Homo-oligomer: A and B are copies of this chain.
């Protein structure tokens, strides 16, 4: 593509703070192509909880229209209204965006080299237990029903994406995670789909486990390095990736790519921490997770080398400055200081050796 439009969505709470830092890092890495007009940034400001509450929609129409003019989106966390909140009961903007832009693959890598962990999760991102959003049924005061929806196409495309990646990356193994022994109809369909697709990838080994025992297996230090690429229905992907990220330093350290045929969105895995902003500490929010998201964005739009450099720089910053970064609020390190540190590390002429 001649021109790539990167939409930048600040979101709520600490979102605008950390997104600005991630954008600075992207500008730093892409400066030449920005000058050439190949890369264009577009700020999209309306995705705030106030706006969403005012129009009663998870994504206001004008914001959605703007999002659709972008090729890729860098998104800060958005506040999900919850019961008892001051906000009306609208759906998560996150979940809605994944569905509206048909971002079916939620790709979440977790890597802890010193622990032998190198996992990539392919989470189905548009259906399953998330399919109908908040439109479950209160049959009467005593009875509530929710639905889980699994389609053939929805299963096939995420499973293929996982197998494609396993093949291309040389990891050659895919683990399918379901609860098909109990949720037989939908999870059974997902597992069937995986078994059928596996036949087209003779070099890729497939195994499958239930989500309950899988959460135990990730804890098992001796055996967890056997897992490489995992593919999971939406809810299990949500659950297992948070656990996995904890081994890397917490959800605050993980990036998340939401990829569809037409659009792609990259985000932090953590929430919007409205309390930090209310207390005037927004500038201390740790931008590490969304910068990881920005790194995945770079790879997605064709700058794989720069993506790798950024990944490496983040690993270095993480290792040597874990205290500074993870406890920024206490040490007084701002998000801007962290981004500066990342860019300084990126400028290091011997990035390879120092690692």
Complex-state Cα separation, A148 to B147, whole angstroms: 6
User: A138 to B186, alpha carbons, bound, how many Å?
Assistant: 8
Write 12 A-B pairs (CB below 8 A) sorted by A numbering.
A80-B181, A82-B180, A138-B185, A142-B151, A144-B188, A145-B185, A146-B150, A146-B185, A212-B242, A213-B251, A215-B239, A219-B246
The answer to whether B240 and A215 touch across the interface, beta carbons within 8 angstroms, is yes
Of A49-57, A128-136, A198-206, A347-355, the segment with at least 4 beta carbons within 8 Å of chain B is A128-136
Q: Out of B135, B141, B147, name the residue touching A152 (CB < 8 Å).
A: B141
**Which residues of chain B are within 8 angstroms of A133 by Cβ–Cβ distance?**
182
Interface of chain A residues 54 through 109 with chain B (CB within 8 A): 80, 82-84, 89, 92, 95
Q: How far is the CB of A109 from chain B (nearest CB, A)?
A: 16
CA distance A83 to B194 in the complex (A): 13
Binding site for B on A (CB under 8 A): 80, 82-84, 89, 92, 95, 129-130, 133-138, 141-153, 179-189, 191-192, 195, 211-213, 215-220, 235, 238-243, 245-247, 250-251
Query: What is the bound-complex CA distance between A210 and B219, given in angstroms?
Result: 19
Among candidates B83, B215, B242, residue contacting A242 with C-beta atoms closer than 8 Å: B215
A266 to B327, CA, bound (A): 45
Task: Identify which of B135, B138, B182, B242 contacts A129 (C-beta below 8 A).
Answer: B182
Given contacts A136-B185, A146-B185, A182-B92, contact A219 B235 (CB under 8 A): no
Please, how many angstroms separate the alpha-carbon atoms of A92 and B144 in the complex?
Answer: 24
**Chain B hits for A180, CB < 8 A:** 82-83
Instruction: Return chain B residues, CB-CB under 8 Å to A136.
Output: 148, 183-186
| 14 additional contacts (CB under 8 A) given A212-B241, A215-B242 | A83-B192, A89-B184, A92-B181, A92-B182, A136-B183, A138-B189, A145-B148, A145-B186, A146-B148, A179-B235, A211-B239, A215-B239, A215-B240, A218-B243
Distance between A43 CB and nearest chain B CB, rounded to angstroms: 27
Within the complex, what minimum Cβ distance (angstroms) separates A136 from chain B?
Answer: 3
Least CB separation from A187: chain B residue: B146
Residues of B within 8 Å of A92, CB to CB, are 181-182
Among B95, B150, B187, B251, the residue within 8 A (CB) of A216 is B251
Name the distance in Å between A213's Cβ and chain B's nearest Cβ. Answer: 5
The minimal Cβ–Cβ distance linking A268 to chain B, given in whole angstroms, is 14
Is the beta-carbon distance between A151 and B147 smaller than 8 angstroms?
no
Q: A148-B148, A211-B239, A243-B243 are in contact. Are A95 and B142 (CB under 8 A)?
A: no
Chain B residues lying within 8 Å of A152, measured Cβ to Cβ, are 141-143
Distance to closest chain B CB from A97 (angstroms): 14
Q: Are B134 and A145 in contact (CB under 8 A)?
A: no
Q: Which residues of B contact A142 (CB under 8 A)?
A: 151-153
- Could you say which residues of chain B place their CB within 8 Å of the CB of A183? 129, 136, 146, 235
- Write out the residue numbers on chain B whose beta carbons fall within 8 Å of the beta carbon of A220: 246, 250
Decide if A216 touches B191 in the complex (CB within 8 Å): no
Q: Specify the chain B residue showing the minimal Cβ separation from A270.
A: B213
Instruction: Report chain B residues within 8 Å CB of A186.
Output: 136, 144-146
A146 touches B144 (CB 8 A): no
A333 to chain B, nearest CB (A): 20
Q: Is the CB of B238 within 8 A of A144?
A: no
